[in-house]
Structure 1
């Protein structure tokens, strides 16, 4: 069957992944099963990517309607956690997953605490009492290992100034330089979902990659999971672009002894050594403030919150006034120290 549900062997209730214990848990009788010891039904069934199937909840028989990208969800009628196995097999099968470490209750409390820290947000927003919904979602990422071979040629100068007698001298030495650099970037995550905001997902980093587990379907039970929209080949240019600021910074560090630098030639050859399909845990928080919806994301392992909250015009005006006042006082003090007058 393409729909996988995890029933408690003790009482028959639906089981879900417990982020606190990292085990499959039954909310009715409290039974907990070690996921690593459970058989994975995906290893026993093979589906093709193009199969069109009608999904039915095995608990209540209701038809499950999802968007094409969804690979795990809950039945809207009985609430059972279901995994759509045909969307997680073959080329669509993730290689690894980082499980949730923060429960829904913990995520809600952490978000409210984050709201209260907003120095420039309106007081009404800081109360965090307008949360429309919070959803635990496994977001698809491609995780790249990149090898960069870099050849750089250019010219640099070293400038030295000194005084001799009544004269000030400036001495400039000119050099040619060559740098051959080899840079490896490992576990570079690029989100592969068309729904997710790339900037928002980038800001959620870093994830604790030591928590990566070999993918098993029980990790998804009780959460929503998406399958990738973009292949690793399609996202390789973005992976290269993401590393460029770090590469440029490293190149600059190798010629930092020069006063001025001009590059004659810069060759950067990037090779994809590996691209693994992984699922990373994200809590999506939807907040309504004065009729406008704001979307925030929380790292499901670290609790880091990212997003753009509303800003209070009054607080911003007060902040700028405070900065201006401090600047004015600072200038007055400097003028007094220098024996001058600042009006």
Structure 2
């Protein structure tokens, strides 16, 4: 869901203000006035505390942690667009289709924290074009189009974070390699070779781990591997929720429920626990027969993280790129140039032919 928040009027000229990435102030592009974002008071800083997961899953959160929102699906790509305040129409940043307000309304969990943009649009564009330039097989025309194309969209993307204290009992086996000599005869010649074997012994035990801020994308609008590959994020930069950081940007509401996000988060944690078990078993190989985990002190947060996004059409095909608004890391659909690939194959064949010719003349 895309959240078009209220406007922030300039105290000098009345034009809309926007948040200045990398700063702690709002800027008026019309008259140049700047307005500081006040520090969050202690009461709001406490909002960064974790929320009890059981209360969230049972839909029993306090009213202050919930909000009513109006939603409308994008008629083109299906993204859920969220409206607040007096906004009645907007543009879907995923496909640029105009969207008008509908009649649907939902009760949803409020964001607790936001990571403000650290990179501005120009810096994000530079990171993207440098990334495209590093892809040798990318079409030159696409790189040039990206440099001169439409402005990147700044978007706050929803995530869940999960904490948990775990203690896991496992049963399995440890495999230790050893070698035995074996005499073999081939073509009338007798040789001795070393044969690797594995000695297995039963193992069981306990491993424990405390997980902190396991990130799960709470959106279905972008491929998950895009945002997964934008990690790591420095979550110490999270700020208590303030609308000011959204001025001039769009915030997407979550489309992955807390329950589904929690299941994904547990899958991530289970993978880490499995690695812990293998390390605890030791040896050259490990076999895991069973892992039983006790989950305690489970909490969550709903946070928004910044990305710059661009969608380009080149030779009839769409390409989508996302840039981490904190670090400048880039991910996207890798484009290929047919003539560059053909040239590389031709060059390789020429080199192989030269090598073969030189070899044969010796």
Q: Does 1:312 align with 2:337?
A: yes
Which position in structure 2 is the counterpart of 1:333? none
Secondary structure of 1:228's aligned partner: coil
What residue in structure 1 maps to residue 304 of structure 2?
279
Paired residue for 1:101, among 100, 118, 121?
A: 118
196 and 289 in structure 1: CA distance in 2 versus 1, 3 angstrom threshold: same
Q: RMSD of the TM alignment (CA)?
A: 4.1
Give the gaps of 5 or more residues in structure 1. Answer: 54-65, 78-83, 331-335
- Is 1:156 the equivalent of 2:156? no
Distance (whole Å) between structure 2 residues aligned to residue 327 and residue 184 of structure 1:
55
Gaps of at least 5 residues in structure 2 are: 48-62, 72-78, 91-100, 182-190
The one-character-per-residue Cα deviations of 1:51-78 (angstroms, maximum 9, x if unpaired) are 669xxxxxxxxxxxx964356998979x
Partner of 2:133: 116
Distance 1:130 1:289, change over 3 A: farther
Contact 2:65–2:110 (CA under 8 A) maintained in structure 1: no
| Aligned counterparts, 1:287-302, within 5 A | 287-302=312-327
Matches for 1:67-82 after TM superposition, within 5 Å: 68-70=81-83
Encode CA deviations 1:214-252: one digit per residue, 9 max, x unaligned: 111100010011111233222111112233443333322
TM-score (normalised: structure 2)? 0.70
Instruction: For 1:5-20, list aligned pairs within 5 A.
Output: 5-20=7-22
2:60 corresponds in structure 1 to none
Alpha-carbon offset, residue 276 of structure 1: 0.2
Q: Does 1:257 align with 2:283?
A: yes
Aligned partner of 1:222 among 248, 252, 261: 248
Query: Are the aligned partners of 1:73 and 1:225 in contact in 2 as well (CA < 8 Å)?
Result: no
Q: How many residues align?
A: 306
Q: Secondary structure at the match of 1:180?
A: strand
1:204-219 equivalence runs, <5 A: 204-219=230-245
Q: Show the 5 A alignment for 1:123-142.
A: 123-127=140-144, 128-129=146-147, 131-142=149-160
What secondary structure sits across from 1:11 in the alignment? coil
Contact 2:173–2:200 under 8 Å retained in 1: yes
DSSP-derived class of the 1:36 partner: coil
Per-residue Cα deviation, 1:27-62 (whole angstroms, up to 9, x for no partner): 2333323313489xx99x989845669xxxxxxxxx
Secondary structure at the aligned position of 2:10 is classed as: coil
1:195 to 193, 217, 221: 221
Deviations along 1:194-226, one digit per CA (max 9) or x if unpaired, are 322222121111111121111111000100111
Distance 1:225 1:130 in 2: 25
Distance 1:117 1:207 in 2: 23
Q: Distance in 2 between matches of 1:102 and 1:327?
A: 46
CA apart distance, 1:97: 0.5
Q: CA deviation at 1:162?
A: 6.6
The offset of 1:24, in angstroms, is: 1.6
Separation (CA, whole Å) in 2 of partners of 1:303 and 1:123:
22
Query: Contact 1:22 / 1:101 at 8 angstroms: preserved in 2?
Result: no
Superposed, 1:168-183 pairs within 5 Å as 174-183=200-209
| Structure 1 position 270, deviation (Å) | 4.3
**Deviation larger for 124-133 or 173-182:** 124-133
| Cα distance in 1 between the residues matched to 2:279 and 2:156 | 38
1:52–1:222 distance in 2 versus 1, CA, 3 Å? closer
